[in-house]
Amino acid sequence: MPDQRPRVFSGMRPTGELHLGHLFGALGNWVRLQEDYDCIYCVVDLHALTTAYEDPENIRLAGREMVADWIAVGIDPSRSIVFRQSDVHEHAELFALLGMVTPLSWLERVPTYKGQIAELGEALETYGFLGYPLLQTADIILYKATQVPVGQDQLPHIELAREVVRRLNHLYGPIFPEPQALLAEFPLVLGPDNRKMSKSYGNAVTLGMPDEEIDRLVMSMITDPQRVRRDIPGRPEVCNVFSWHKLLGAPREEVDEVYRGCTTAELGCVDDKRALAARVRGTIAPIRERRAALLAEPERIDEILEQGAERARAIAAPVLGELKGAMGLAADA
């Protein structure tokens, strides 16, 4: 029996090893979505080229490592389709077709475009970078996905996809459903230095991090800046250590006990950080083991990606064929 559940598409650029910010953000959401949706999760390596075209050698390795992380945290490739974008040529072909019908001004007004050019410089002033929201549109509609999990900042991209779909359906008949944003609010995960957790800031607890490095990072965490001595009561509500206890799923009574101990100065920051480090180690250790086992067998990851690409192509090829036929082009035999 074909699965009648609504279809979700989402992709991640191959950035290599993921971290707690991903786990408690998009990735954790992906794992949960598997319960209620038909999920398609894509290593969007063509997108990686829009910003890393001068440094391509790591893209394949980073993709493999990222897939190991996905599976280690609970993405199940026997339920969800897990594949690499460049293995399914229909993405690039649909991107080219969409380029024929999409007014340039629609892409120029996407807010992230001008923002990122200003931030990252002229190297991004390529046709591919301007067009990447259109490649995202192609990724989604190639599977007639109806839901796309996004954060607030990605909403303009979904709006563009919906506009493009309306134009295509107007020009060539009702082929594509308008994708809907599946808006998710993720907690902002701060690193030990209270900046957003990011590998580029060197403040990320990565999913493969050894225990000693976890200890080092957690023990370096900034706490309540007013608590300059052990006997001064602290303010858990401004302390990232306290946030992490909650983020990592500490039981209610333990959270309450940290709060009480901190605000009465019975609990010192060093002791609290030690307890947090143990909690982080407990979260990371099973993920680290699973990802290491997968990475020890890279051919198994490649096999998962190949099978995923086959399943993806089985959906994508007829959809592309339908559009090509409507556009007066020959569909592949």
Report whether 50 contacts 2 (CB < 8 A): no
- Closest to ligand SF4 by CB, 172 or 259: 259
11 makes contact with ligand SF4 (CB under 6 A): no
Distance of closest approach, residue 281 Cβ to ligand SF4, in angstroms:
17
User: For ligand SF4, which residue of 137, 146, 223, 283 counts as binding (CB under 6 A)?
Assistant: 223
- Closest to ligand SF4 by CB, 282 or 318: 282
Residue 13: name the closest of 92, 97, 86 by CA. 86
User: For ligand SF4, which residue of 26, 117, 184, 269 counts as binding (CB under 6 A)?
Assistant: 269
Burial 254-273 (b: 16+ CB within 10 A, else e): eeebbbebbeeeebbbeebb
Helical packing angle, 111-120 and 127-141, nearest 10°: 140
Distance of closest approach, residue 283 Cβ to ligand SF4, in angstroms:
18
- Closest to ligand SF4 by CB, 119 or 229: 229
- Closest to ligand SF4 by CB, 163 or 215: 215
Helices and strands: H and E segment counts in the chain: 14, 5
Rg (CA), the chain: 22
| Interactions with ligand SF4, residue window 244-263 (CB under 6 A) | 258, 262
**In the chain, beta strands by DSSP E:** 7-12, 38-43, 81-84, 147-150, 180-183
Tell me the C-alpha distance between 177 and 162, whole Å.
9
Contacts of 255 (CB under 8 A, 6+ apart): 242, 245, 246
Encode 82-142 in three state secondary structure. EEEHHHCCHHHHHHHHHHHHCCHHHHHCCHHHHHHHHHHCHHHCCHHHHHHHHHHHHHHHC
CB atoms within 10 A of CB 184: 16
- Closest to ligand SF4 by CB, 63 or 192: 192
User: For ligand SF4, which residue of 33, 241, 287, 315 counts as binding (CB under 6 A)?
Assistant: 241
Size of the site for ligand SF4 (CB under 6 A): 14
224 makes contact with ligand SF4 (CB under 6 A): yes
Task: Choose the stretch contacting ligand SF4; rule: CB under 6 A; options: 152-160, 163-171, 267-275, 302-310.
Answer: 267-275
User: For ligand SF4, which residue of 39, 134, 148, 239 counts as binding (CB under 6 A)?
Assistant: 239
Tell me the two tokens of residue 48: 């990686």
Question: What track of x and - describes contact with ligand SF4 for positions 270 through 299 (by CB under 6 A)?
Answer: --xx--------------------------
- Closest to ligand SF4 by CB, 82 or 241: 241
Distance of closest approach, residue 223 Cβ to ligand SF4, in angstroms:
4
Tell me the C-alpha distance between 244 and 246, whole Å.
5
206 makes contact with ligand SF4 (CB under 6 A): no
User: For ligand SF4, which residue of 133, 191, 192, 236 counts as binding (CB under 6 A)?
Assistant: 236
Q: Which residues bind ligand SF4 (CB under 6 A)?
A: 223-224, 227, 234, 236, 239, 241-242, 258, 262, 267, 269, 272-273
